[in-house]
Structure 1
């Protein structure tokens, strides 16, 4: 909020360089392949690419709205910037220069309408939306086409190219600058919340095939199934997965029975007769049980995962994923 970006090295007591801006700096991101460059977004409506050794701006672009989030794709070829009004801009980075690609402005309505150059990122209902500011953005580590967007309508949305493919629900994010992050393998999404919890969702990479002919499998467009745990006594402002290199234990290989024994859908994974019975339930019930079973099977591989969270008061806590989740 002092209108600067400060560069530090963990082994030194003083910052190496200060990069001045004209207004509050709301987003920064290192170039994923060349750490001599970083990206910054500011409330002065400008997106900047900085050259660290030369201590100057390599390129900048005026987006004409206050920037509240920005990030590089994993290959460094694309930049996305999100605004206070819920809009997203895509730029190609070529020879350290920004080249405009398109604008995405997504609005959730009862009748979905998607346009290639304008898709609105807001959730609307009969009452006035609590807010649509984009609070965080991240491209998936191994899928540079996919972008995760967190916004102040308590939604996390995944875009494939310029089209929304999945929406994640469960967290509370109405006023905070909370943003979701993806683990290094791309299997899980994690995010803090204003209700003092940390939330975790499974991405499409962590699905298993459906055994119910009446149900096609994991529901891609909406993700209601999540895990959560109380982390702080105030707003969880940040949550992330630690690298696999610091995993505390080797994940145990659990039998499918241990992972899925508490749902009919779980039994159906191993028992053909149970699969036939599952086909007799309603589509909604089958879909719910399928989603629970899929999450349970994948949860076994997440044992030993280390999670770091920070609260509004400044406290940092470290958690280990120990044991299977408790079903509610």
Structure 2
């Protein structure tokens, strides 16, 4: 199932196999954020510009509890166990709620240390919990920063992208090693996320400004592929057939030693904001991976791959299999994007390091 929120002041429930809407949940103002309860999908949470956060019962089609924050709600999500929720506002306030028994009880407030004076630059635009963690969460805001909060403590910031007017939200890969985010400058940004290498909290907040990015015109959403990463299958070929980069080219057409992101455009609309218990709190995260794997393959036209391989086969070789084995490499990563032009695209990282 899929939930969509809209400027028509409604939340709508859809079935992936049907074009018709199953249920409509009316609000009094624009609905900015929604998410299924990750342990009981008969309930969902919604936030609205009317300053209220609500918990809804889908079978009863009614609100079971709500809370007035007295400022516009711009982001909301459940904790992975469904027993709590994070709620963010236009003025940059971030509140943690207890949602046991589907009731909203405020527990604490998180200080994001946003020093911007203008309230619209403090707006919180997205949350995502780190895979396998119930305390570490990514918080995206309109000051063009992604913050990592552990419990109620700010531990890390990512910068480099632009987020001033869109409802942009960062997402972490399923292995927790990379952070992916769309940007208002028509680029998709990727940062390394090495939680174990962060200094102790007593040494302050780690600021990460080193990133890679690629162009995607008018992109508004970018999420890692929620299914197979592509690395495991490629690694089997790598380990069985090659000792270095040169022979890898022979086995996998199109793999070469300059960074390249393979793109495939798909017909579709990015206007549906879907959320479920999947760790990917993004537009396409609600569908199971087999649904997309049956319909999409992140590939490049064969004639381009073969031509690229012939042109670059004579260049140097080296072995980086240890990077892949340890999960540090982004090789094979697939990123799905949606944009203001109504296109859904997939990009795959086939690039290998360049010997300088």
Structure 2 unaligned spans of 5+: 1-6, 246-322
1:95 pairs, out of 95, 101, 121, with: 101
The offset of 1:327, in angstroms, is 9.4
Change (3 A) 1:129 1:69: closer
The offset of 1:319, in angstroms, is 0.6
**What is the distance in 2 between the residues matched to 1:103 and 1:93?**
15
**What is the distance in 2 between the residues matched to 1:176 and 1:162?**
26
Q: Which has the higher contact order (CA 8 A, sep 6+)?
A: 2
Superposition pairs of residues 1-328 of structure 1, within 5 angstroms: 1-107=7-113, 122-124=114-116, 131-205=121-195, 221-232=206-217, 234=218, 236-245=219-228, 247=230, 250-252=233-235, 301-324=329-352
8 A Cα contact 1:157 1:167, kept in partner: yes
Change (3 A) 1:89 1:140: same
SS in structure 1 of the partner of residue 233 of structure 2: coil
8 A Cα contact 1:43 1:66, kept in partner: yes
Change (3 A) 1:68 1:130: closer
Superposed CA RMSD in Å reads: 3.0
What TM-score, normalized to structure 1? 0.73
8 A Cα contact 2:14 2:22, kept in partner: yes
- Residues 198-254 of structure 1: CA deviation (Å, up to 9, x unaligned): 0111222475x99xxxxxxxx96111121211122x2x2100011233748724369
The offset of 1:169, in angstroms, is 0.6
The offset of 1:104, in angstroms, is 2.3
Change (3 A) 1:61 1:105: same
SS in structure 2 of the partner of residue 75 of structure 1: coil
What TM-score, normalized to structure 2? 0.68
- Residues 92-116 of structure 1: CA deviation (Å, up to 9, x unaligned): 1111111210122433xxxxxxxxx
Say how many residue pairs are matched. Answer: 265
8 A Cα contact 2:229 2:332, kept in partner: no
Structure 1 unaligned spans of 5+: 108-121, 211-218, 259-295
